[in-house]
Amino acid sequence: MEKFKTAVILAGGKSSRMGFDKQFIKINEKMLLETMISKLKKEFDDIIIVTNKPEQYVGSSYKIVSDEIKGKGPMSGIHIGLKESSSKYVYFVACDMPNINIDYIRYMKNTIKDLDVDACITKVGNKSGAEHLNAFYSRDLVSEIEKLFLKDCRAIVYLTNKVNTLYIEEQDARKYSPNWDMFININTKEDLTSYINSLDG
């Protein structure tokens, strides 16, 4: 099995603050999801979209899957993404995280390629905060996630605290994204407007 072949976009969620489904955001008449995929294809052979509306992707050239264990938030998406992947390590990003940073993805890959870790995520500050997406997870974690679901532990931090997680320090990550925009989320219409304005700037 190859080490780094698969990227997964988590496109579920309720999008309650946006007012419409974030997985269908369009910018300049182009689906944001398609823009993200075109960037990810530079680094990954297989793209998986985890969605709660698979019927909207009929005819897609990408693998479209839905949560196998529902109602557990983003970790449900990580679970099915890992199960459907074709590589040991799988890159995960959310559909509302528009700034795909290929240089940072390559840095993470190079950091863990010769190590035996379960996850690679980025710390925030000197405390326990961390960015759990724009991150890599091992396919070997499927059973660990299922054990956590049996205890109704659905936050990703339960997983990363339990397994062998490699944390990249914020100061090292900022070399690739000084303004931290590779972790921004578009959660509201205001966020979307701000992001579009930043593209024009």
Q: Which whole-number Å values give the CA distances from 157 to 84, 129, 136, 192, 198, in the listed order?
A: 22, 9, 14, 27, 31
The stretches of the chain forming alpha helices (DSSP H) are 32-40, 74-83, 102-112, 142-150, 156-162, 170-173, 189-200
- Tokens 């990550």: give the residue: 173
Annotated binding site: 10-12, 22, 67, 96
Please report which confidence band the pLDDT of residue 18 belongs to, taking 50, 70 and 90 as the band edges.
Answer: low
Nearest to 96 by CA among 199, 20, 162: 20
Residue 191 has pLDDT above 90, yes or no: no
pLDDT tens per residue, range 85-133:
999 999 999 999 999 999 999 999 999 999 999 999 999 976 678 999 9
pLDDT tens per residue, range 122-166:
999 766 789 999 999 999 999 999 999 999 999 999 999 999 999
Annotated binding site for GTP: 10-12, 22, 67, 96
Beta-bridged to residue 167, according to DSSP, are 121
Select the more confidently predicted residue: 191 or 156.
Answer: 156
Rounded Cα distance between 91 and 175, Å, is 20
Annotated binding site for Mg(2+): 96
**What average pLDDT does the structure give for the chain?**
91
Rounded Cα distance between 4 and 2, Å, is 6
Burial of 23 (0-12, 13-18, 19+ CB in 10 A): buried
Domain architecture of the chain: domains with CATH: 2-200 (3.90.550.10)
Element (H, E) at 58: none
